[in-house]
Structure 1
């Protein structure tokens, strides 16, 4: 049995390498490394036309929506807070289309940080645009504890209180349709959300790719492999 193919979203930004200085499709290397360490094959998905999202998803066994820029508040009917970052409209449109396609096709889905927030927004939820205490310093990954909700998919993967790598200033406010909170920080912030079975859709607010624990990503990869065997 070959390793399941896991698509990971990327973003467009200006970058410099060698003699070049131009727009590039970027993704921090820890994302595909974590997919590989968890038993999957990673393929990078640069922003594209939303109309082709279903075609792309149909070729995947699983989907990871990566972290990054704040979701534009208009997506959930809010005015932007002064502390909300600049919009990434093309990326929002593309990733929302990927999420919709994955949910419609039953493709296992993992949202990481922004990806969890976008999953919530895709299902009609809203976001807290700013909270303190979840960023240690600019450009520095912090750590804090998260507590699983018993009986959830997340708790089946990580049953104990875990210290996780974190870097975010936004969070889930009102949950989207069908989503349940499956982990919380000590201050009550929702740290993981999921859809009920038989769907396999999980979002985590932290950055598992920046830590050593592969259990969340391994859960996605195993779900993708199981789906491929049916």
Structure 2
């Protein structure tokens, strides 16, 4: 489901999916609560878009080339930006499972680009600082061969509790 463009001050374009105001409100409240409490946060696909909107950013309502087929993930490489948290996890370009027709347009306050695709689409965003906050436009849960992003989230979540993983 697409984030309602009204959430970032835009008129709905024809390619944008129907609004789901209750879902948007609930998920934006979850993002706000995680950010306020310092809870580790991994936003996947729509979750990355919500993170951006929650911090005052905007979305491009329609793009092509990243959606795969109906019910099928496409793949493409993403290129990490040196010096970012994401690049520390995954320093080399990797192919990712993708299925989206929207993307970050203007970055939300405080966000930094962690990775981009070859066409310049922002593929990962992060908040610098002690709280572990990362958004990825792809679906890392679909890649069982590369678990670095998922493992980093688990480590970040375990650390405040004094657990070792």
**SS of corresponding position for 1:111:** strand
Q: Is 2:96 the partner of 1:164?
A: yes
Query: Which structure 2 segments of 5+ residues have no match?
Result: none
2:3 & 2:153 partners in 1: Cα distance? 23
Please state how far the C-alpha of 1:197 moved relative to its aligned partner.
Answer: 1.5
Runs of 4+ displaced beyond 2 Å: none
Structure 2 counterpart of 1:112: 44
Structure 1 counterpart of 2:122: 190
Alignment of 1:1-230 (within 5 A): 69-212=1-144, 213-229=146-162
- Count of aligned residue pairs for this structure pair: 162
Structure 2 counterpart of 1:54: none
Greater share of strand: 1
Please state how far the C-alpha of 1:199 moved relative to its aligned partner.
Answer: 2.1
1:138 & 1:83 partners in 2: Cα distance? 16
2:77 & 2:134 partners in 1: Cα distance? 18
Please state how far the C-alpha of 1:79 moved relative to its aligned partner.
Answer: 0.5
What do you get for the CA RMSD once the two structures are aligned?
A: 1.0
1:204 & 1:229 partners in 2: Cα distance? 27
2:58 & 2:126 partners in 1: Cα distance? 15
Structure 2 counterpart of 1:45: none
Query: Which structure 1 segments of 5+ residues have no match?
Result: 1-68
